[in-house]
Amino acid sequence: MTVEESWEKIERWIARYAPEEDSLPGPCAHADLERLYECLGVRLPEDVERSLLRHDGSGLTVILPPGFTLLGVDDILAKRETWLRYAAPDDSNLRKGDKPFLVPFAALSVTQLLVDTRTGRLGWWDIEECFLWEEEPLWHSLTSALDFVGNLLASPPPWIAVLPGDEEWEVTDRDPDFPGTLVWTEDPVD
């Protein structure tokens, strides 16, 4: 499935089940991407670029389990600065020279999802846990992650995602604190 097809499924679910959700941001401009690439010194993989051309991030909408929001162009630059400043220079999970090619594209509090701009492979980073490559097929690329979410949301309820490590997360529009929005939860909703 393409990035655009996955986004269509996600957008349909939000329109139908999450009318209280803030509107997803519009597309970034090609000029914004060029500015981003000039600042980064590398180009993003095609799937990340195509996602940004569909939505310049996801705003406050948590698209990826267990609750990651996608970053827009300006947030990518800000998070990249944090990553380069605080990522441990001796992180044993990174090869020498990897760091400049890793770019944050999603965040959940202080945890960031990063994409390797050379391969499209995804990894995780936070200041305490350092960097980890994700081995599960779900996280091989942004395309595979969006495909997973899009297919899940296009299926009949309940929308249960079994994540790596057999963690079960439910997507719901009936969260008592945020009704009518897209919420990932570990607690089943009655």
Give per-residue pLDDT as tens, 55-85.
Answer: 999 999 999 999 999 999 999 999 999 888 8
At residue 82, the pLDDT reads 86
Model confidence band, residue 130 (pLDDT cutoffs 50, 70, 90) = confident
What pLDDT digit, counting tens, does each position of 156-168 carry? 988 988 877 778 8
* HSE (side-chain half, CA atoms, 13 Å) at 21: 27
Is 51 among the domain residues? yes
- Find the domain containing 43 and state its range: 3-185
Is 149 among the domain residues? yes
Structural domain count, the chain: 1
Supply the CATH number for residue 58's domain: 3.40.1580.10
Is 156 among the domain residues? yes
Is 165 among the domain residues? yes
Amino acid identity of residue 177, one-letter, is D
Is 190 among the domain residues? no
* HSE (side-chain half, CA atoms, 13 Å) at 91: 23
- As a whole number, the mean pLDDT across the chain is 92
Longest dimension (CA), the chain: 49
Q: Out of 1-5, 85-89, 100-104, which region has the weakest mean confidence (pLDDT)?
A: 85-89
Position 188 pLDDT exceeds 90: no
Is 45 among the domain residues? yes
Is 80 among the domain residues? yes
Cα–Cα separations (whole angstroms), residue 152 to 13, 92, 174: 10, 35, 17
39/18 Cα distance (integer angstroms) = 36
Q: What global pTM score does this model have? A: 0.93
Is pLDDT larger for residue 179 or for residue 129? 179
3-state secondary structure of 138: helix
Asked if residues 182 and 174 have their Cβ atoms less than 8 Å apart, the reply is: no
CB atoms inside a 10 Å sphere around CB 83? 18
Is 170 among the domain residues? yes
Model confidence band, residue 180 (pLDDT cutoffs 50, 70, 90) = very high
- 162 forms bridges with which residues in the sheet? 168
Position 190 pLDDT exceeds 80: no
Cα–Cα separations (whole angstroms), residue 12 to 9, 147, 166, 171, 182: 5, 14, 27, 14, 12
Average pLDDT over residues 111-128: 92
